[in-house]
Structure 1
Amino acid sequence: MAGRDPDEYEYVVSDTDEQVPDVSAEEYREAFGEDITRTLDLETWKTGEDLSEVYARLEAEVREAVEQENRTREEIRRLVFPQLEKRPGAPKHAGAPYACKRAGLEQIQRGLLFNGGVEACDGTRQVHDTLPLTIYQIGVSLVSYRGDQGTWVHRLFRRDLRANPGGGNPADEALELLQRRSHRAGQNQESPRDKISNLAGRAVMSYAERAILLRRSQAVWRMGHGNPAPYELITGSGTMDMMVESTKVIRELVEHHQKFVYVASEPSDRLLLTIGQALYPLEYAIVGSLQEAIGKTVENGHYRMKVNVDMTWDGRKIDSPEAWIRRFRDFVAPQVVVGVYRATPAAPAQVFYAHAEHAHVAAHIAIADSILQYHRGFPMLIDLADHVCSHVFGRETLYGPVSTAYTEAGAPWRYLSERATRK
């Protein structure tokens, strides 16, 4: 199971499983144009043979939605963009969109991108989940257009019980195993309660991507995938050591290197994307700051666990993880701006993050790389890093050796889930 993408999870903190939001009958009707009772009435459902009406409705809904978006574009440009720079706490350069000149983009392509002046980093994770053992394979690649590349991999082996707590008593061992597994989700399922799985799956990969980009890249400019400070690192996925060590890396990237650009795949903020859709091709706009993006997470988060790593900030010992993350929010996050750009007429808007002092160059780099993919309008260098990582650390690089190991252990199929043996 491949994981993606850190910047694509909502900034929501909860002690238990995710809460189901209340949806009124009026909200349902407003969203879908029909009452829920009509949706549940099977008489309104079409048979598989009667598809002509289904397709007609589909075409009408899509056409009307696109027309509405087109109608609102100019009004968003007229009403929203002028207000961006007037908002309290608006970052530097916020406001009206900036237009890129093709000559400048071509110069960046020749002078930075194609000669290796920009390196991109991306990661992938594979999970082989069985009852006795869960294996996490985390791979990260670093690439440039000059042909240089590096790959790194780490595997974590999770067992619910590694030592016999009963001092050799099989009954106690079995009871302890049952108790521990009662807190885990089913096979190949994720649960907010299963903090170890979230830590091993998301946080470790996100940390490795940023640490490798910072400490292994030799390029002038660094390009990352997602949000430079994603939810799983800001919260530590429940582990304060992870939070502190991750924010150290992010701080060094932001304050010392500065020349970076992160581009998100599927950001959760539809407001940002709506503003982005109002841009013309080759335009970008600075909208907000990273401080705004992580503010709610930090304010509502739980940072009370013990920290075992060094918490020295500029020679000063920070006394609690809560004070540490608030310092990061107040002093580091404001230096990062959040913007949107649109590379081509066919492509959607993209969300990017950059240092405030280098935001214009960062936006030009992202757009110069994105116009190489007319239909996607997304940086091709990030796609290259993803393809390299997926090829080197794809599913078969884990599942093949694991299957062989289970076969040699005399249990080739015994612990596989139904879905794993369906095909």
Structure 2
Amino acid sequence: MNSRLVVTFTTLIVFLVAALAVPLGLAYASHRTNRLLLDRRADATRFAELADHAAREGDRSGLLAEITRYADLYGAAVRVRDRDGSLLLTAGRFEADDRDALRLALSGRTTEDLPTISPFGPATVLLAEPAGRDAQLSGVVLLQAPADRARVDVTLVWAALALGALVTLAYAVLVARRLARWILRPVTELDRTTQAIAQGRMDARAHPGVGPSELRRLEVRFNAMADAVAGAMERQRAFVADASHELRTPLTVLGLRMENLEPHLRVEGTAEYEEAMAELDRLALLVEDLLALARVEAGAGVEGKEIELGPRLAAWREVYGAKRVRLVTDISEMSVVPEVAARIADIALDNAQKFVPPGGTVTVTLADRLLRVADDGPGLGEEERAEALGRFWRSGAHANVPGSGLGLAIAAELARSCGATLRLLPAEPHGLVVELRLPQP
């Protein structure tokens, strides 16, 4: 956008400068051409008078001396022809084709205009002047004059105009850049703020102060909107956290009371009692996961400290051994990762031990800030992988597996909180890969 504004402003200035400089340059070239015409036509007129006098007197020696001296002094060429077009006298090196000029002069007319002088030509100009009075034409004078001095004058003026245009254009570009930055300053500020909010910094706000008044008002309204959205999200997180926290105590008391009822159950009620306890455990797990998600979204417990990954993974070996699932770790003994990455690895390993059948393998690797937890379980389809990071999502094939459906959602929030990228990929020939790309330190 900034470049487009600069280009637009600069283009307008270019057209404006061209609209001023080009007519000025052409006007001066025309003026200099007319001045050259007047100067040289005066000389041609004087030679025509001398030629007419020489024709009447029959002595052309004086005329020859005049045109020779003139040709030597100005580097010009002069031809004198009679009324039949025959050459009488010549001085200097005459190079131009004089047929058209000769016909013009023999018809009794003088040269009224010349080709416009420019830095690129012409090198010489040709003027024709009839000799004689009224209808008594005694001859013709043809004057070929150099246009070097006029070309130099036009070149200097055009160069000055071009230099002025370039300086004007340079200042115009500078002003256009400053003007574009001033106009887009609120837009840039809004872009920076929205990027910060998208990265999880809900307290980021635009700083109005520079730019058009309409865009400054937009910044103020954007800040008001961001405050309203942040407040709503904070109230939502607070409600989830409070509700989860307040539900823990009643659930704990309910569980204890149900356990106290177990000795008083009849045999036929045992199955219903176990199902009720299982649902109570599931509800307690859901409350714990909701509370954990609320804490992560609020930024609690996501400090940037780093821990060793090896001892964290070693704690899972006993769990995997009980499930008869092999856990393979390919990491350095001194591997250190952010605590958030270790928590994501815990979530991935917890999910894997639920779905990988006995005899399966789960592999954990860490290389170049890329943490991968791959299993050879049933895996997920493409559409399922796209939805698995959402809240409360559970695959239809895994409806009977214990869980709240919040594990991967918590992992996604943890990854976002530290600027990492979390992806779910298919494993070959089957299974699921949880890939976490950590940001560079």
TM bin, normalised by shorter chain, reads: under 0.3
TM-score by length of 2: 0.18
Q: Which has the higher contact order (CA 8 A, sep 6+)?
A: 1
TM-score by length of 1: 0.19
Structure in which a larger fraction of residues adopt helix? 2
